[in-house]
């Protein structure tokens, strides 16, 4: 449990807000995530979505625009999500990890967390379950990396890249529920 809480604490060393990170990251697809074709993704459309994040310890809500690309190879469309966004969730990765950190450190009760951040207790327990499952996958990968190279661990300082690195390794996003087709994949 200590190692998992340490990961949570590292995220809060990043001084930029989620909105600043979204603006600075400018995600793009060089390779189609569905078919793997290189150079086939072209701008297609955009949509707005809600973003719930944490700012100075308080819940903050924004409307953001997410760009989409279309792959000329497979015909699929894909959203260009910054790493701070969890697919299919309004909550930012930072918000989820902030609430989990408070929960795991027992800095306040679940009822207090729910009231303070406007979330349901079942949501906190779902996040805890996903975090434990995904953190164990991530930590086992880090153990393998450590055996290969100490330098690779130094690269882990870029914790804001955790979701995209996690996706590349496991094929689903960090703290996102896996769909039925993804569950059958082996990591």
Q: Which two tokens stand for residue 185?
A: 């994949």
From the number of C-beta atoms within 10 Å of its C-beta (0-12, 13-18, 19+), residue 138 rates as buried
Task: Give yes or no for residue 122 having a pLDDT over 90.
Answer: yes
Helix (H) or strand (E) holding 131: helix 121-148
Q: What are phi and psi of 69, to 5 degrees?
A: -125, 160
Q: CB within 8 A of 126, min separation 6: which ones?
A: none
CA gap 130, 152 in Å, rounded: 25
Where does residue 37 rank: exposed (0-12), middle (13-18), buried (19+ CB within 10 A)? middle
- Sorted by sequence, the CB contacts under 8 Å of residue 173 that are 6+ apart come out as 86, 87, 163, 166, 167
Helix (H/G/I), strand (E/B), else coil: 34: coil
Q: What is the pTM of this model?
A: 0.68
Q: What is the CA radius of gyration of the chain?
A: 17
The 10s digit of each residue's pLDDT in 5-63 is 344 444 444 456 777 767 666 667 788 888 888 989 999 999 999 999 998 889 999 99
Instruction: Give the other-Cβ count within 10 Å of 98's Cβ.
Output: 21
Please write the tens of the pLDDT for every residue from 152-173: 445 544 555 566 667 777 777 7
Q: Convert the pLDDT of each residue in 74-109 to its tens digit.
A: 999 988 888 788 888 999 988 998 999 899 888 889
DSSP SS3 for 65: strand
Q: How confident is the model at residue 115 (pLDDT cuts 50, 70, 90)?
A: very high
Q: Where are the domains of the chain?
A: 2-178
């Amino acid at each position: 449990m200590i190692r998992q809480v340490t990961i949570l604490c590292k995220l809060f060393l990043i001084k930029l807000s989620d909105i600043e990170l979204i603006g600075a990251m400018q995600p793009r697809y060089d390779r189609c995530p569905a078919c793997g074709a290189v150079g086939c993704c072209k701008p297609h459309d955009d949509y707005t979505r809600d973003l719930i994040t944490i700012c100075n310890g308080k819940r903050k809500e924004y409307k953001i625009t997410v760009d989409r690309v279309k792959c000329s190879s497979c015909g699929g469309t894909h959203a260009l999500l910054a790493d701070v966004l969890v697919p299919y969730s309004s909550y930012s990765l930072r918000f989820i990890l902030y609430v989990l950190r408070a929960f795991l450190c027992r800095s306040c009760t679940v009822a207090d967390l729910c009231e303070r951040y406007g979330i349901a207790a079942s949501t906190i327990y779902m996040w805890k379950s996903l975090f434990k499952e995904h953190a164990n996958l991530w930590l086992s990968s880090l153990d393998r990396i450590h055996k290969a190279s100490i330098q690779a661990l130094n690269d882990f300082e870029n914790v804001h890249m955790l979701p995209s690195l996690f996706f590349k390794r496991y094929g689903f996003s960090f703290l996102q529920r896996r769909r039925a087709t993804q569950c059958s994949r082996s990591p």
